Amino acid sequence: MFTRSICLLALSLPLVLAGGASTALIERAGPNLKALLSEPGRKWCPGTQVFFPGQKDYASLTTQRWTVYEAPSYLAAIKPACVGDVQKVVKLCAELKIPFLPTGGGHGYSTSFGKLKNGLSLDLGAFKQVSVDKAAQTVTIGGAATFGDVFDPLYAAGLEIPTGSCTCVGFLGGTLGGGVGRYQGIHGLIIDNLLSLRMVTAGGKLITVSAAENADLFWGMRGAGFNYGVVVDATYKVHPLTNGGEVQVVDLIFTREQNETFFKTLASLSGTLPPELALLTYVDYNATYNGTVAILDVSYPGPKDKFLELVKPFIDLKPAYTEFQTIPWNRLLRQLGFQLNDLVCIKEQQHSMYSVGTKNLSSPDYISAFAKYDQMFADYPETRLSTLEIEIFPTQAVVAVPHDSTAYPWRDIEGQVMIQMSFTGGPTSAAANAANKVAQELRTAFSMTSGYDQLEIYVSYAHGDEDPASWYGKDKLPRLIELKKIWDPKNIFRYDNPLPDSYP
């Protein structure tokens, strides 16, 4: 869940740092990283780059994290220019016991990443290719390409693929946990469209993983893939544009006084959505309305008259603001939701994320959550960039895929409740503590009425403090752990909501 050179490691040349960076910068990295990165005998590919914190433009030349809350810390970053160098880095880190983290889009926000201290960032920023085969109806996507990178090449070919909800999230990172999104009712999860991937294993070997090759690992990669290796690229099946690529959308704003009737209407639609209709609700602070509002964005790649019929229950509530649009599929993420995408994608902010997967849509919980956010915004203005996001996506094509066919455990989730806390100040500030307290209370409340007998969380939305069974499912964990013993027995891939050593 990723750029220009300031230094070059050539075939057999010593390490060169641009801008006259001093040897002291290398020494900060410690003897292991210094040896790893500067030994001439490594023979890195031309174009492979290495960076150290403190160098000029370090932040702009390496992939930075979306959130700095509970973030990993690095003494160096290496950006391989070829797959062979990815293999070398993995081998050397395993041999020297150097903690490292593959970085694609940099959007992962689990607090488990923060357990990596003084390590190495394996920056996949050079692997951003998007190669469309129109005749075969496939696309091959590099390890650092984002959802936003994929839309235009596919749209130009008259094709589409399910994606997540923000342009800045890495496509492969968004795939490995499952891949929920607006088009899942039509095409299934992103993993349901995955044909194969090329990955570097814990032993540094480059392998292909698919239904025909390493099939058991292919099962595990679709739902828990970040536990097993570094994916350098993946190939997916793609589909002709639904409705010719034309999408009907509407954005609505409901004020504080309207929130109860809105949430009751929203919950009444449980289980009734056609496969093309996707609903996203945001509770946030809106300066124009001087208070907390509920925003609804609705998308539907189908006829306009049918769309107007589907959204009529919300229009009849007389929202404070209404904006209808007809937009092409490749502009969907950027134009929907009052163009909030650009704001949401700003990096290096404090974000603390909690979530709950629900089978029931509970209007009392939504109304209570609105009130808690409203009070938090009043008491702690530093939290006013926080959002409660409720993703209600159809499940028809998702549940059509057999439960046992992939490692992804939660195919019948109807609502993804994302409790996104953002605040200024440090991670232990009064605002941060208050926001996390509200988030934990809401996670507990939503889980009690979720319709499940345990906490079920889409692993890519996890906070990182939950039981791994809530990420991977009690029935899937034993097989995933056995795969881990085969493919990563030394547990070098252990920072992204990791698998336990045993279960139960």
Q: Which of 248, 252, 246, 247 is nearest to 323 (CA)?
A: 252
In angstroms, the first-to-last Cα distance of the chain is 28
Q: Tens of pLDDT along 245-269? A: 999 999 999 999 999 999 999 999 9
Longest dimension (CA), the chain: 71
Q: What is the pLDDT of residue 32?
A: 63
- Average pLDDT, consecutive stretches of 10 residues, N- to C-terminus, the chain (504 residues): 28 31 38 72 91 89 92 94 97 94 93 95 97 98 98 98 96 98 98 98 98 98 98 98 98 98 96 96 96 98 98 98 98 89 87 96 97 98 97 97 98 97 94 98 97 96 97 98 98 98 94
How do beta strands 119-123 and 100-103 pair? parallel
Dihedral-angle region of residue 158 (phi above 0 means left; psi in -120 to 50 means alpha; beta otherwise): left
Quick check: 127 and 45 in contact, CB under 8 A? no
Quick check: 392 and 281 in contact, CB under 8 A? yes
Distance from C-alpha of 234 to C-alpha of 144, rounded to nearest angstrom: 11
Quick check: 459 and 178 in contact, CB under 8 A? yes
Q: What is the pLDDT of residue 323?
A: 97
Q: What is the pLDDT of residue 38?
A: 77
pTM value is: 0.93
Q: What is the pLDDT of residue 34?
A: 65
Quick check: 459 and 465 in contact, CB under 8 A? no
Element (H, E) at 396: helix 396-399
Distance from C-alpha of 119 to C-alpha of 493, rounded to nearest angstrom: 13
Distance from C-alpha of 443 to C-alpha of 457, rounded to nearest angstrom: 10
Q: Tens of pLDDT along 166-207? A: 999 999 999 999 999 999 999 999 999 999 999 999 999 999
Residue 162, token pair as written in the block: 């399910």
Q: Which of 255, 234, 225, 260 is nearest to 406 (CA)?
A: 225
